[in-house]
Amino acid sequence: MKKLILFCIFLFAFVLRFFRLGQNPPSLYWDEASLGYNGYTIATSLKDEHGEFLPLDRFIAFGDYKPPGYIYAAAFSIKIFGLNEFSVRLPSAIAGFLMVVFSYLLTKEWFQKKKISLIAALFIAVSPWSIHFSRAAFEAYLAAFFNLAAVYFFVTSRRKKWLLFVSTLFFILSFYTFNANRIIAPLLLLSLSIIYFKNIKENLKWVIISVFIGSFMVLPSIGFLQSPQSKIRLQEVSILNNLIPLKESNSRIAFDGNTWWAKLIHNRRISYGFDYLKHYFDNFSGRFLFTHGDVNPRLNIQEMGELYIVELPYLMIGVYILFKKREKALVPILAWMAIVPIPAGFAKETPHALRIISILPTYQIIAAYGLYQFISYFNLRVLPLTYPKLRSKLGFASNSVESSFGNPSLVSPVVKRNVLLFVICSLFSVSLYYFLHNYFVHFPVRWSGEWQYGYKEMVQYILQNEKKYDSVFVTQTQGRPYIYFAFYNKYPVNEFIEDKIETTDSFGFYDVKKLGHISFESFDIRDAYGKILYVGSRGDTPPGFQTIKTVKNLAGEVVYVISHKI
C-alpha cells in the first residue's frame, strides 16, 4: 500500500515537472539560452562559446562567469535530445524529480517513520518553490539537489561508511554548480561533521579519503576564485557597496567627539553587521515565504508565497515538537536552514528565492513532521476524550479526564478522523489548484516579457530570410540577442568565433555586436547599402522601411517589428 502511494507521489512529481516543460515558462530567458548554447558547444566540440577547451573553473559566458556544473549536465541532455528548450531545462527537471526521491529518503533516515517521509515527499512534490525552479534552467536548483543528496549521504554514512565519500562528491558538485553553494557547501559540510562528530570519529578511513580527494577536486577552481573576475559579480550586488552605514557611523563618531568609546559603539563594522543581519533575516520573512514570494516575476508567479500558507500551522507545530521531543534531526535541520541564507545576506536584493533555494526541502520536512504530529495528537489525545469506549480502552477512567469537548458523542472516532483528514486534504488541494491554475494559465501570459518572449519567433524568421538581404540589423531592447541567434541557429562554435565581433563593457560584461552580417547595433544603419532587414521594437521603424511582420508576446504586446528596405 505504502509503496503504491510512494509510486503515485513520484509519478505526480514527475508529471508536474515534465508536463509542457519546454513551453512553460513560455520561452528561454538569456541565461537559459546561454547555458544551452555553451552546453551545445561542449557537446559538439568540447569547447565553450569562447573557444576554451572544457573549462573546469568557470564559463565566461556573458562575462558573468557561470559555474560549470549545469552546462556539463546540459551538454549530456543536448547530446541526446538535440539543442532545444526541453533539453536545456532537462537537468533542472530531473533534479526536481530526484529531489522528491531524496527528500523521501532523507526524512526516512532521520525520523524512521514511513508516514512522515511520504508526507514530506508529497509536500516537496507539490511545492511551488520546487516546481517553479525545476521547470527552468536554473543552476541554483541543480545545486540545491546536489546539496540535498550530499546531506542525505552524509547522514546515511552512519550505516554505510563509504557513503561519506559520496556525500563529499555531491558537496563538490554543488560547489561547482552555483556560486552561493561555494560558501554553503563547505560550511554545511563542516557543521554536519561537528553535529555527527561521533560517527565521523569512527569513520576515519573515509574521512581521510574524502578530505584528500575532495581537496584535490576543489583545486582547479582556486585560481579562478582568487582572480578579480570572480569578484565582479559579488561586488555588483554586495551590500558593502552601500555607503550609508559608513557615513552614518562616521557622523555619529564625529558628533561624539571622536572618543574611543564612540568609535566602539558606532563602529562601522557593527552598522554593516546589522545591515547584513537584516538582509539575512529577510529570507525568513513571512511575506516572502507565505503570501507574496520573490518580487522578481521570473522567480515567482507573483500570486503567492514560496510556500503554501496552509503549511504555516504545521511548520510551527513541527518546529515546536522538534524542540520538545529533542529530535536528533533538529540540530542538522536548523544548521542547514541557518547556513543557506549566509551568502544571500550579502546581496542587496533580499529576500531572494533563487540564491537560497538550497534550503529546500527543509521547510517541507518540518511541515510534514508537524502534520504527522498533529494528526497523531488528534488520534491519541483528542479523539479518546470524545468517545467513551475508546476512553476506557485506553485506560482513562470514564470520568477522570474532564472533557473540554462537551458530552462524549456517539459519532465514531473513525468518522471524526476522516473528517479531519478530509479537511486537511481539501485545504491542500485547493492551494495546489490555486498554484497550478495560476502557473499554467496566467503566469506564461502575464509575464512572458520577463522570459524575453518573442526571440524565438523573430530569430527563426530572420534565419529563414537573411540570405535575401545584404545586411540585417537587430535591436537590443530585450538584451543579448546574439545568444538567441547562436542558439536557434545551432551555430557551430568554430564558425561562431570567426563570425562574431565582440565588445566588453567597463564592468567586464561581454556582448557580441555583430554576428556574420547580422548587426546588433543599429546606429550605423544609415551607412548601410543594398537590401536591409531591420528588426526594431514598436515605433522605431526607420523612415523608408516597410513593415513585413510583427512579433507579439503572449500578453499581446508588440515586441518586435520587422521591416525592410529593398
Partner 1 sequence: MKNKIVLLMIFLLAFLLRFWQLGVNPASLDWDEASLGYNAYSILKTGRDEYGSLMPLAIRSFNDYKPPLYTYLTTIPVALFGLNEFSTRFISALLGTVSIVIGYFLIKELFPKNRHPFYALFTFFFAVSPWHIQFSRIAFEANVALFFFLSGILFFIKGLIKGRYFIVSCLFFGFSMYAYHSPRLVVPLLLIGLFIIYFKQILNNWKYAGISVLIIALFIFPLLLQLGSGTGMRLGSVTILNGNERLGPSIKAIEYDQSRDDLIGKLTHNRRIVFAREILGGYLDHFNIDFLFFFGDPPGRHHSAGMGMLYFWDSVFVLFGIYFLLRDRNRNKYLLFWWFLVAPAASAITTGTPHAVRALLYIPTYQIFITVGIWKFLKFFRSYRYVVFFVIFLFLLNFYYYLHMYYIHTPIEYAPEWQYGYRQVVEEVRKLEDKYEKVVVTYHYDQPYVYFLFYNQIDPTWYQAQWNGEEIQRSARSFGKYEFRYLDWEKDSQLSQGILVGTGEEIPKDVSGRVKDILFPDGSVAFRIVAR
Residues making contact with partner 1 (CB under 8 A): 252, 255-256, 265, 274, 277-278, 281-282, 284-287, 290-292, 303-304, 309, 320, 323-324, 433-434, 437-438, 441-442, 445-446
Q: Which is nearer to partner 1, 277 or 401 (CB)?
A: 277
Q: Which is nearer to partner 1, 411 or 445 (CB)?
A: 445
Q: Which is nearer to partner 1, 197 or 281 (CB)?
A: 281
Query: CA-CA distance, 493 to 409, in Å (whole number)?
Result: 76
Q: Is the peptide bond before 26 cis (omega within 30 degrees of 0)?
A: no
Q: Which is nearer to partner 1, 274 or 507 (CB)?
A: 274
Cβ 445 to partner 1, closest distance in Å? 7
* Of 545, 541, 548, residue with least CA distance to 565: 545
Cβ 428 to partner 1, closest distance in Å? 15
Say which residues have a Cβ less than 8 Å from residue 224's Cβ, sequence separation at least 6.
57, 58, 65, 230
Q: Which is nearer to partner 1, 156 or 291 (CB)?
A: 291
Cβ 263 to partner 1, closest distance in Å? 13
Q: Which is nearer to partner 1, 212 or 323 (CB)?
A: 323
As given in the structure block, the three cell numbers for residue 373 are 504530529
Q: Are 486 and 63 in contact (CB under 8 A)?
A: no
Q: Are 6 and 121 in contact (CB under 8 A)?
A: yes
Q: Which is nearer to partner 1, 400 or 506 (CB)?
A: 400
Query: CA-CA distance, 204 to 15, in Å (whole number)?
Result: 42
Cβ 343 to partner 1, closest distance in Å? 18
How many CB atoms sit inside 10 A of residue 382's CB? Answer: 15
* Of 365, 407, 367, 360, residue with least CA distance to 388: 407
Q: Where are the strands (E) in 411-498, listed by range?
A: 471-474
CA 283 vs CA 133, 278, 287, 343, 544: distances in Å? 17, 9, 10, 11, 53
Cβ 501 to partner 1, closest distance in Å? 42
Cβ 265 to partner 1, closest distance in Å? 6
- Written as one letter, the residue type at 407 is N
Helix, strand, coil share (%) of the chain residues, nearest 5: 65, 10, 30
Query: CA-CA distance, 70 to 142, in Å (whole number)?
Result: 7
Q: Which is nearer to partner 1, 67 or 345 (CB)?
A: 345
Cβ 534 to partner 1, closest distance in Å? 32
Query: CA-CA distance, 261 to 268, in Å (whole number)?
Result: 13
Q: Which is nearer to partner 1, 57 or 303 (CB)?
A: 303
Cβ 319 to partner 1, closest distance in Å? 9
CA 328 to chain centre: 28
Cβ 434 to partner 1, closest distance in Å? 5
Q: Which is nearer to partner 1, 39 or 293 (CB)?
A: 293
Q: What angle do CA 471, 477, 481 make, to 5 degrees?
A: 55
Stretch (H or E) spanning 376: helix 362-377
Cβ 243 to partner 1, closest distance in Å? 16
